[in-house]
Chain A
């Protein structure tokens, strides 16, 4: 992250330097361009090279700028397409900058173009051209006239010379005419090109540098010629020449030779004979005159000429010049527009990059990355915003750390509390004692499983309810008494054993009620612990009864045999000796013997009960055991309907067949006795595979068992049968056998009528 930010910062610095450098370069180059044309008239070709270099650099810079702008534009377009964050703002800023710069720049450009075009038009207007043209034509006319004049003078001198004889006369003529015509020089030339006679203006400082030979040659060929040559002392000499003929005839009207030039200075024409010119035209020489044009005049005419030339040059360049200026203006316009666009990009970037960073940062902070730190450096409001964001992130992080620490501590506490609570709950759930707690308003706050089982209720139905609302009136009274007792005793706890009849069950419970107080001793409610003593008491009673039975059997059985034997002996010895009351004697002795036998049987029963053999479980089918037990009763009691509902799913399991058969026989015996001659007895087997438990129900529609007898039903020598018909040991034995099989027997009322014995037997002993 930091590396990326550093790289970005370096890149920005580099870009800034490049921009400043380019800006300075463009400025310098433009400055040079503006000033160089003035220098160029003084400096040589080097300046041109420099100029071209500058122009090229300028072009390159412009191209670079265009490239940067186009690149940024294309980038912006692509980013807009990809919906990159911040592109909209950037687009708006760029458009705003371009619009703001475009309108004035374009207006300025148009104005400049119009101005330049009109200015150039004015420079090259017709008046300027015609005046320059006029001046030039004057100068040209001057030269032309001078040329004509010199030719005319030469011709005139030739004509006059034809009448003169001798060199002196000719020289005088030439001198006279030179002075008259204001010529610089007059001379007569022989056919060979030599100057024969001449007259020179003495005012000329420098000697004339010979005649223009090409013009002389032309003259000797018969042409009238004019030529301009420079004069060494400045200015020019305008030469004019015409040929001299052998015969010269002046005819004003006709331009034909008509006169004779009769040998003015040649003694003999013979040397011309054979010459084509001489033969054909009679040319015997030429006259040349020179007119001196002073330096200042020449310079002025040259100035006029140069001005015209310059004007024509410029006019020639009128269109290119206008185009050039327009292009320069266009370039400047483009530079301004592109610079504005680029500046727009720059500004947009300066604004959007921190905003994007902030957005990114906000997202990251929102997603939980509080280590995020913005490294943007700015001195403006963005910088303030960034530092505020960083401070916020830092504060958030600190707060988060503190909260996390608090949360961890809280979690630890909660966990510990929860573990403790769970442990307590587990303890509560697993204690055999039922636990019920009330808060200070009397609302039930805790009911453990044992309490649910014991009191046959669902915790969820009563939790949060007031005990007064939940409890039946008699129990409410009981609880109230307990509370009263606590209050009276001013004790924090109380224990009490009581019998609780719940629906068809009667429990013997020991209730312990404790007042709950907090650390400050404030009353929080109370907790009641119920210990189910029913089974314990039952087992204690069973054990006690067994001991009693054993002792009775021992104490009673011993004298019974002698009593029986004595009675039998008395009967045998004295039956024949007693007369009269023999019947009484026999009846009494038989009664003794019979009762002793009965007593013996009773004692044997007791003895059997006391000395119940150890259980010998072997794999057996309980359905079959029950079925075989029922068969006996079905035969004996045809008036009673026996219904057996075996459970085919019940597997074979280890059970003592004989003892279990005895259990069923005893129970069925009781049931038969209960229905008293007619009724229905149902035996149902239910197997719970999950609990590995088999439940047997023996239901009859007999007279039923009163609730107060139910706790004693499985005690020895308790019978509801008529006296003499039961030993009171049947159900005690059943209970003993079931207990030996780790099972449990209970009695319930059968609805709508009768009794129901329920035996729960575990399959695994």
Chain B
């Protein structure tokens, strides 16, 4: 197995590691860097607990070969708060009880952070599209729904809280119920 010298920043701190070519990003973050906030859940890209940002893009760290982040900038849940100051989103999760056991919370926070960066005033479709891939086995979705909703509103990011919450509830209904996605283009 060949090894690669890997240089990247983790939450703003430069890192340089010698790693085997087959290492996955989730293992390098947790085992080599000691940043255990990011959790390994399903290991197959479905559950969202290993959500991290690579150059600001939301990805599953369990599916990313670590060598892919050479020269790039990595953000995990530990990198959200700045100088001990939580983000409005993190505050909203605490205020509104956006977690039960907490194992999915780092991934939920990272996914919601990516959503709000790309869509500061997310509509219902955008919220559904971004958050549906982060599962909560406690089914603590109501509190999580209030988190991004409250964060979005509390941070001056627009949308009424009831509307955002309603849209998120719809997305959970969509996860559980029968539905079809469709598109239709007419020239």
Do A and B form a real pair? no
